[in-house]
Amino acid sequence: MKNYSFGFVLVCISFFGVAQSAPRDVQSLDQMLDNWHAAAAQANFETYFSYTSTQFIFLGTAPGERWTKSEFMAFSKPYFDKGKAWDFKPSNRHWNFAADGQVAYFDEDLQTWMEGCRGSGVCVLENGQWKIAYYNLTVLIENEKIKPFIKLRQKKS
């Protein structure tokens, strides 16, 4: 019985330790993502990519847009150099954490030039700093509008 009690105490300590640290992590993660979006709006290339991990992947809205960090940097550079990248306004962000506390994943609503979008991603703790490892940008479309949307996509340009 003592072994079970000791195990239960360890589980409780682990659970409450993670639960208590989560709000601090959420606040720092929110700030990091807000800064990341702001860096794009301000066309600050170096700052924007400093928030991403070395293994960063960006999925864009077009079918062929799956970029590694170096590919996305090359694609993005001309936009940043012109002083106008993109301006995504996030809201309604939700966070979840892996059990080890080293990985956080999220989804957020975005107001963009494309109207409503959603971003989702994964952040990893690297050398004590949160970095964005994966980001997926999607355009939102209501279910009742999907059939006309499909027809539009099937049209030849």
Q: Kindly report the pTM of this predicted structure.
A: 0.80
Contact 86, 40 (CB under 8 A): yes
Q: What is the mean pLDDT of residues 42-54?
A: 97
3-state secondary structure of 93: strand
Most confident among 9-13, 20-24, 55-59, 125-129 (mean pLDDT): 55-59
CA atoms of 18 and 98, how far apart (whole Å): 10
Residue 1's pLDDT is what? Answer: 52
Element (H, E) at 63: none
3-state secondary structure of 113: coil
> What are the structure tokens assigned to 39, written together?
């860096």
Residue 17's pLDDT is what? Answer: 44
Residue 24's pLDDT is what? Answer: 58
Domains of the chain: 2-154 (3.10.450.50)
CA atoms of 130 and 51, how far apart (whole Å): 8
Residue 122's pLDDT is what? Answer: 98
pLDDT tens for residues 96-138?
999 999 999 999 999 998 888 999 999 999 999 999 999 999 9
Pairing between β-strand 66-68 and β-strand 103-112 as defined by DSSP bridges: unpaired
**The pLDDT of residue 88 is above 50:** yes
Q: What is the mean pLDDT of residues 22-51?
A: 91
